[in-house]
Structure 1
């Protein structure tokens, strides 16, 4: 639904343009990565309902392997409610529903299908223990692990040593450290503290400001691509998809991050989530522009 501004707690505002569409972080990332040319399979759980049927049909249309999608007999397919403004900002609430019973045992059969050079991407719309189990499995199989902590939770007591890339946005980075979402800590310091929890790389996505990348070599700010923002919903998912697709092609982390930034930037030029995601040719055409922007600012 579109609103002029996100309501404050306890406030009612008028909205417009209510609509329903398929989404969710896992399916968004999967479909976006497939559009970029990656070979993608989605491992998740949906309800035995029309939403679940629709998602599986969507995955097939987008070229994503749906054979690992499980069905719950007791819980419905997860849903999210999104409020978006004309400035490109949004607020989202999610009912995990069937995803809440997506357990480590459900991903165990995938182990033999993971190959060296693959990327296992896990958002936190699934239980944290399942995401971390997938991360450990990726490490065992020589694959890369990307943990997108959204929705965010306190990660200070978790073992993140098998996570190669942790990709929170600015708000999520603070929540992962046990801080308030609006804590005044600098993004750079937050990223460094998150790296101390174990992940090799931390990438804080910052909307129109681009991303902050903390690695063993230090912190680097990477700007966003100049675009006309229409709708930012799903841009973070697009970044993770571009990052994963780039890494699976054997790109160095910086080049994979640039691919993620361009993919995310282009996704904001159109409405909706999956429908807004660019094709590979569009991303390749704009990558030189971002490289030039970085060179000029160096």
Structure 2
């Protein structure tokens, strides 16, 4: 779907009986343009019948953090301990939220359960997510909470030098809130969980919903430890090499030993594992097939968000019924799209743009 179609779909989810003129006024386009987009959505099977009845579709449930990302980028090489000329930008972020937006922009029906404050940053995040086509109804917006912020500083090579996060509000997304959404969770085609959640929330999710495919983003070495007791419930796990070595207690000497590491996770019950190797690509294993796929060359603009785009690509591929290999190649291309823009989420993220990267990489 195009970005405009995603915006229209988001408004229709909020009010299926909204008049076309009101849609046009809210989007700043003509009524005839709205009618054209409505026709396209109808032809695609997304809308059916009168009253803009939305077709029953598979959906992904994402549970995790939402932040306002504050990004500092030096104009040249970073001088530590000094004031650096450069640029500072703000954009909605957070692992769970980033995955959800990428997934929605790829065309998958996506619902997000997170917690934000009823402050300027929180309202900006909610409105941005809704425009991107994310269903925000499961999320908490708290009048007595402060929206999470994530402050990162890039080095002269556009890679992250240091970051600080303030995510205290996510502790408010507890077991009781999760229980209130359990029917929506049970009906999901898959659930994506980020390890920023509290230990209690992770324990509840991984102990009660193993009958649906659970995709887990380990986030960091420290936070990955919280999921170790529940690996048997994980369908798809996406750690980097350091996180995988820490979780397993296995240190590898070279990439030829990656199958040993992957097999350890299968022995714990993980169905699919995707080991991120940075500039060296990805090693995947689904219990039947294992392969190391080299990275696609890219001129990196911002390293933040590439892993989130990768996991969104994996989830999108799973919902499309693609093979593990095809899903991995698609996810790696989605990461390239993410790396190519200064914003945490590339506004041009779409299935079309990802497939273009795949096509160009084959030339």
Q: Among 211, 216, 240, which residue is 1:147 paired with?
A: 216
Q: What CA deviation, in whole Å up to 9, does each residue of 1:216-268 have, x standing for no partner?
A: 13531112222221111100000011111111111122211221111001211
Aligned to 1:296: none
C-alpha change, 1:75 and 1:222, in structure 2 (3 Å) is same
Cα deviation for residue 281 of structure 1 reads 0.9
- Does residue 210 (structure 1) correspond to residue 210 (structure 2)? The answer is no
TM (norm. structure 1) is: 0.84
- Report how many residues are paired: 284
Residue 298 of structure 2 aligns to a residue whose secondary structure is coil
Structure 1: runs of 5+ lacking an equivalent:
294-298
- Does residue 31 (structure 1) correspond to residue 96 (structure 2)? The answer is no
Structure 1 Cα separation of the partners of residues 263 and 165 of structure 2: 29
Cα deviation for residue 160 of structure 1 reads 1.3
C-alpha change, 1:177 and 1:104, in structure 2 (3 Å) is farther
Cα deviation for residue 40 of structure 1 reads 0.5
Residue 147 of structure 1 aligns to a residue whose secondary structure is strand
Aligned to 1:238: 309
Structure 2 Cα separation of the partners of residues 186 and 155 of structure 1: 27
Q: Where does 1:119-268 land on structure 2 (aligned, <5 Å)? A: 119-140=190-211, 143-153=212-222, 154=225, 157-177=228-248, 186=254, 188=258, 189-217=260-288, 219-268=290-339
Larger of the two Rg values belongs to structure: 2
Structure 2 Cα separation of the partners of residues 276 and 210 of structure 1: 24
RMSD: 2.7
Cα deviation for residue 17 of structure 1 reads 1.3
Aligned to 2:153: 83
Structure 1 Cα separation of the partners of residues 348 and 197 of structure 2: 23
Structure 2 Cα separation of the partners of residues 14 and 130 of structure 1: 40
Q: What CA deviation, in whole Å up to 9, does each residue of 1:152-179 have, x standing for no partner?
A: 3325851211111110123332343468
Structure 2 Cα separation of the partners of residues 250 and 94 of structure 1: 36
TM (norm. structure 2) is: 0.70
Aligned to 1:18: 88
C-alpha change, 1:185 and 1:121, in structure 2 (3 Å) is farther
Aligned to 2:126: 56
C-alpha change, 1:275 and 1:285, in structure 2 (3 Å) is closer
C-alpha change, 1:89 and 1:172, in structure 2 (3 Å) is farther
Aligned to 2:31: none
Aligned to 2:165: 94
Structure 2 Cα separation of the partners of residues 258 and 128 of structure 1: 32
Paired residues of 1:120 and 1:135 also in contact (CA < 8 A): no
Structure 2 Cα separation of the partners of residues 231 and 126 of structure 1: 25
